[in-house]
Amino acid sequence: MSDIRVIGSYISPYVRKVLVFLETKGIAYEIDPIAPFAGNEAFARLSPLKRVPVLLDGGLVLNDSSVICQYLEDKFPEPSLYPRDIAQRARARWIEEFADTRLADGLIWRLFYERSIKKRTTGREADEAVVRQAREVDIPAALDYLETQMVADGFMFGEASIADISIACYFRTAQFVRYEIDAARWPRTAALLDRTWALPAFRKLARFEDCSLRVPLAEQRGALRAAGASLTDVTLGTGPLRPVAVRTT
């Protein structure tokens, strides 16, 4: 059994960010891949905002993907996933924040939530006006900004970092509802996504993500274990799904 445990779904971009850190740094962990907006009373005690991911390292409990990633970087500094130059590190953290807020708002809460999660948690159909606003206005505006931040080749700060990982995590989840970036309009961003998704950590996690999407909820733990995921013995994902769109971090 690993001392490090993660609570959260493979399809969550916030959870994926943490898992990419763990995989890239070669840190052993177990995961309780609870469904989005699930969680029993034991989960609520660990996550008072009822958000994922949650990371447990022995007796330490951490919430918020950015806090968790910084903790993992401090405890396991190699390979580094933050630029070493302090100015570049600050810029990378800003890109992470931009992804967690602006990208998340368009790609996750206006697109993925409406098209994939809303009906399952509320019983209501997607609001197509919200989806259209996201696809035609919000996401393109975010991409216009990101394109100005990209380099011609390679990753944003030389080696793959929290900046590249954060951006790629949100666009990966958007792929689940068939959103694809227009490579002719945003070529540098599209190329960065392809390079980042090709990293070993993203490729490994894609197997578990695809498994989570294909298999009914009641069968997911068994299917994920059969696919090679290292799962916790006990899940905190029992109880009814929460019908309110609580944002994860």
Q: What domain count does the chain have?
A: 2
Is residue 74 domain-shared with residue 169, that is, in the same domain?
Answer: no
Residue 238 domain-assigned (yes or no): no
Residue 242 domain-assigned (yes or no): no
Expressed as residue numbers, the domain containing 216 is: 4-80+201-226
> What's the CA gap between 24 and 134, in Å, rounded?
32
Query: What is the sign of the dihedral through the CA atoms of 25, 29, 34 and 39?
Result: negative
Q: Give pLDDT, residue 43.
A: 95
> What's the CA gap between 220 and 140, in Å, rounded?
34
Nearest to 201 by CA among 249, 162, 143, 247: 162
Is residue 177 domain-shared with residue 117, that is, in the same domain?
Answer: yes
Is residue 43 domain-shared with residue 133, that is, in the same domain?
Answer: no
Is residue 15 domain-shared with residue 99, that is, in the same domain?
Answer: no
CATH label of the domain that carries residue 219: 3.40.30.10
Q: Give pLDDT, residue 120.
A: 80
Residue 115 domain-assigned (yes or no): yes
What average pLDDT does the structure give for the chain?
94
Residue 184 domain-assigned (yes or no): yes
Pairing of strands 4-7, 54-57: antiparallel
Q: How many Cα atoms are found within 13 Å in the side-chain-facing hemisphere of 87?
A: 0
> What's the CA gap between 217 and 223, in Å, rounded?
10
Q: Give pLDDT, residue 247.
A: 47
Nearest to 32 by CA among 24, 140, 12: 12
- Global pTM reads 0.95
231, β-bridge pairs: 31
Q: Give pLDDT, residue 35.
A: 86
Burial degree of 245 (CB within 10 A; 0-12, 13-18, 19+): middle
Is residue 46 domain-shared with residue 93, that is, in the same domain?
Answer: no
Is residue 57 domain-shared with residue 110, that is, in the same domain?
Answer: no
Encode pLDDT of 104-153 as tens digits: 999 999 999 999 988 887 889 999 999 999 999 999 999 999 999 999 99
